[in-house]
Structure 1
Amino acid sequence: MLPDDVARAVSHYLSVADRLLPERIRGFYVVGSVALRAWRKGRSDIDFVAVVDGDLAERDMRRLALLHKVGNLPAAWQALVRARPNIPGTLNGVFVAAGDLGKPVTQIRPLASHSGPRFRRRHGFEANPVVWKVLLEKGVTVRGPAPDDLGLDPEPGKLREWNLRQLHGYWATWADNALSGKPRRKPLLPAHRVAIAAALSPPRLHHTIVTGEVISKEAAAEYALGTFEARWHPLIRLALAHRLGVPASADASVSDPRRLPRLVGEFIRDVIASADRQRS
């Protein structure tokens, strides 16, 4: 069952989708923080997997790009009213052809995807072993058959290595940039806020590498506190407080915003080194 705010956002999104692409969206499943029971109003996005009847022609692609803008207008309006630089509550997801659902997930070529401000054709990062595992085990059905009846193949044998590749790819580059004084940025958000928000994702991957299970960022914070050295605990607690939207307890080691991106980079490097030790 969806939280009321999520249900309203999804209903609006699908009503727009059905006007732009009549009878084409045959399945719609909510994954991410909602499925993991960690969705936070005003802080979390809404992640989905949509199943499309057939392929998408050029006209369909243009309409799908428009859907991302019009379908997310309520979230954008709320962010504007509250003067927020980001837009929580945005629906982000991947569109896959119904005929491809039975393929191993790493062999699926998505039709398109929505992520943040971007619409991408013929690409979708979300078609991966982690998202497909969540979809199969915990996905919330809004439209279409239950996930158990979709014939999904999350490729569990590739789950561990896929997470290791993410750590050594995206997150190693993130850490390198932060340690070189060029941390990743987002429009209208200071670098230290971006860094704090990033701190809990690598421990999530680490947990999946160790246990084979997928957890929320909030659960990853608790896992990290019990797994990594005490010197990282103030940073982890700060990231958890940021995630929950509550005041963080004062700690001198994380009080300087200018140092936070580098500190997060150092932490990510430690997480990667620990994950590599799990491989041996």
Structure 2
Amino acid sequence: MLPDDVARAVSRYLSVADRLLPRRISGFYVVGSVALGAWQAGRSDIDFVAVVDGDLSERDLRLLALLHKAGNLPAAWQALIRGRPHIPGTLNGVFVAAGDLGEPVTRIRPAASHSGPTFKRGSGFEVNPVVWKVLLEKGVTVRGPVPGQLGLDPEPGTLRDWNLRQLHGHFAAFAGKAVSARPPRKPLLPAHRVAVAAVLTPPRLHHTIATGEVISKEAAAEYALDTFEARWHPLIRLALARRLGLPAPGVGDARGLPRLVGEFIFEVIASADRKG
């Protein structure tokens, strides 16, 4: 069952999709925070996996790019009139050919994807062992067979290593810049969403490495408070408060926040390496 706001947004999006690409989207599944029971009205995006029948032509891909804009107009308008720098309620997702669904997830080449302002052809980060596990176990069916009938292969044997690679790749690079004596010209933490992702996503990956289960960012905050030393708790509580839209507690000198975040990420990575 989808929250009412999500159901309305998905219905509008698919209405536009069916006008642009009639009878081509045969499956539509909501994943992400909705599937994990952590979606927040006015704050969360809506993540999906869409199944497309047949090969996509150049014209079809142009129409998918248009769908990304036209299907998300209501969310963009609400963000504009409220003066928000990000767009909650946006539908972000990946389009996969129906014939590829039975392949191991790491071998699937998405037809297209869109996230935030970005539309990509032939790629999509969301086709990965974590999202496929959520899709198979908790994905919400809007159109098409239930996920258990799709023949999905999330490759559970790769789950731990995939999460470790994310920590040692993107997050280690971010942390290295954060603790550098010469920080980059662009601010590392320009908005609360970046701070939340940087603080709460590494413990989320850590939890999956340790337990094999996928949890929400909110649950990852509680897990981090139970798992990591008390010196990190003010930072974790700050990220959780920002995630929930609550008054944020202080963590000392704000100018030192990027370095503190970087040091915490390195702590999470070191702990994850000791797991297993």
- The offset of 1:185, in angstroms, is 5.0
| Deviation readout 1:221-262 (Å, 9 max, x if unpaired) | 00000000110000000101111111133x4xx143221111
Partner Cα separation in structure 2 for residue 46 and residue 193 of structure 1:
15
Instruction: Report the Cα offset of residue 191 of structure 1.
Output: 5.5
Task: Determine the structure 1 residue equivalent to 2:261.
Answer: 264
TM-score (normalizing by structure 2): 0.96
Q: Which residue of 2 aligns with 1:78?
A: 78
DSSP 3-state at the match of 2:96: strand
For the pair 1:277 / 2:274, whether they are aligned, the reply is yes
Q: Which one-letter code corresponds to 2:184 in the other structure?
A: K
What is the Cα deviation at residue 60 of structure 1? 0.3
8 Å CA contact 2:79–2:86 kept in 1: the answer is: yes
Is the contact between residue 46 and residue 91 of structure 1 (CA under 8 Å) also seen in structure 2? Answer: yes
Q: Deviations over 1:179-215 (max 9, x none)?
A: 12238758xx726762244210000000000000000
Aligned mates of 2:130, 2:186 — CA distance in 1: 24
User: In structure 2, what is the Cα distance between the partners aligned to 1:3 and 1:192?
Assistant: 24
CA RMSD of aligned residues (A): 1.4
> Matches of residues 87-106 of structure 1 in structure 2 within 5 Å?
87-106=87-106
Correspondence for 2:107: 107
In structure 2, the residue matched to 1:244 is 244
Identity %: 80
**Over 3 Å off, 4+ runs:** 183-186
TM-score calculated relative to the size of structure 1: 0.95
Distance, in Å, in 2 between the alignment partners of 1:152 and 1:99 is 11
CA contact (8 A) 1:174 1:184 kept: no
Structure 1 residues 91 and 183: alpha-carbon distance in aligned structure 2, compared to 1, 3 A threshold: farther
SS in 2 for 1:93: strand
- List alignment gaps of at least 5 residues for structure 1: none
CA 1:192–1:74 in structure 2 vs 1: closer, same or farther (change >3 Å)? closer
Evaluate the alpha carbon distance shift between residue 33 and residue 184 of structure 1 in structure 2; reply closer, same or farther with a 3 A threshold.
Answer: farther
Is contact 1:192–1:258 with CA below 8 Å preserved after alignment? no
Letter in 2 for 1:264: V
Q: Which runs of 5+ in 2 are unaligned?
A: none
Q: Report the equivalent of 1:123.
A: 123
Question: 1:61 Cα deviation (Å)?
Answer: 0.4
Is the contact between residue 192 and residue 242 of structure 2 (CA under 8 Å) also seen in structure 1?
no
Letter in 2 for 1:263: L
- In structure 2, the residue matched to 1:8 is 8
Provide the rounded CA distance (Å) in 2 between the counterparts of 1:55 and 1:46.
25
Aligned to 2:42: 42
Report the equivalent of 1:30.
30
The corresponding residue for 1:182 is 184
> Which residue matches 1:135?
135
**Inter-partner Cα distance in structure 2 for 1:211 and 1:98:** 31
1:231 aligns with 2:228: no
The 1:50–1:228 alpha-carbon spacing in structure 2 relative to 1, beyond 3 Å, is same
Is the CA contact (8 Å cut-off) linking 1:134 and 1:214 kept in structure 2? yes
